[in-house]
Amino acid sequence: QADEATESPAVLPLLGTSTISLDEPLGQDSEAVIKSLVSLAAADGRINDAAVVTDAALVRESQHSTGVGHGVAIPHARSAGVTTPTLAFARLPEGGLTWGTGEDPTTLAFLIAVPDDAGKQHLKLLSTLARSLMKKDFKAALREAETPEQIVEIVNRALGLDDAAAQQPTQDAAAQQDGSGDASATASSDSGSESEMSQEAKDAIETAKAALEAGDEKACMDAVEEARKSLRETAADKNS
C-alpha cells in the first residue's frame, strides 16, 4: 500500500527559472559556458551525468560551431545522461565572448539537452528556437528581461508552449509553430530573407530538411553547416 501511495515524480518544465543565468560571468569561452549550463540543469535534477552530457555537447561543438550569428549560440546534446528534455539559458555579461573562431561575440546562449531516446526532438526544438531567434523583438526581449521568470515567459511564448505543453515538452510542441521541424532555420538565422540566399544555400537547406525527415542527424547538421557557410560568404560579398 505504501508503494501504491508513492507519487510519480513531477514532470519538469522545458525551461525553468533554475536553469537560467542572467549577466553572470560563466567563463572565457564556449566550453566554459556549456559546462556551466549543464551544471545548472544537473543541479535542477534534469541531468544525472553532467560529464557525459558536457562531452556530448563539446563533441558536437568540435564538429561545427553552434554559434548561429547575431550574438546567439545554441549548443545541444542528446545523451543518456539527460533525464528530461531541457533548455538552459545564459545571457552573458556585456561584450559577450567569442564562441567560434572568426565569429562575432556571443551574448545569448541556449543549451538544448534531450535524452538519448528522444529521436528527432532536439532537432525540432533547435529549429523552432533558431527560427524565433531570427526575430529582433525576441532577442531584444531576452536582453531586456530583468528576472528568470520573465525569460521563461518570453521563451514559452516564442515556442508556442502553453502551460501544459511547457510541463510536458514533446516533439509536436517543439515544432508546432511551423509544423515542419525545419532544422534549416539555424542556417537561415545568419541571413535575412530567402531571396538573399544563394542557390547553394537553398540546396543545402533542402538537403537538411530531407535529412531531418529521414532522421539522419549527422547529414542534417552537415547540410546546415554548408548552408551557413554559403550564407556567410554571401553576406561578406555584400559588405565588401
Q: Catalytic amino acids? A: 76
Please give the radius of gyration of the chain, using alpha carbons only, rounded to the nearest integer. Answer: 17
108 secondary structure, DSSP code: E
Distance between CA atoms of residues 189 and 135, nearest Å: 9
Exposed (0-12), middle (13-18) or buried (19+): which is 146, by Cβ within 10 Å?
Answer: exposed
What values do phi and psi take at 99, rounded to 5?
A: -80, -50
Please state, as a whole number, how many other Cβ atoms lie within 10 Å of the Cβ of residue 164.
8
Residue type at 78 in one-letter notation: R
Angle between helices 50-63 and 30-43 (to 10 degrees): 150
Regarding beta strands 72-73 and 76-79, do their DSSP bridges make them parallel or antiparallel, or are they unpaired?
Answer: unpaired
For 60-71, letters b (16+ CB in 10 Å) and e give bbeebbbbbbeb
Residue 1's Cβ-side half-sphere holds a number of Cα atoms within 13 Å equal to: 0
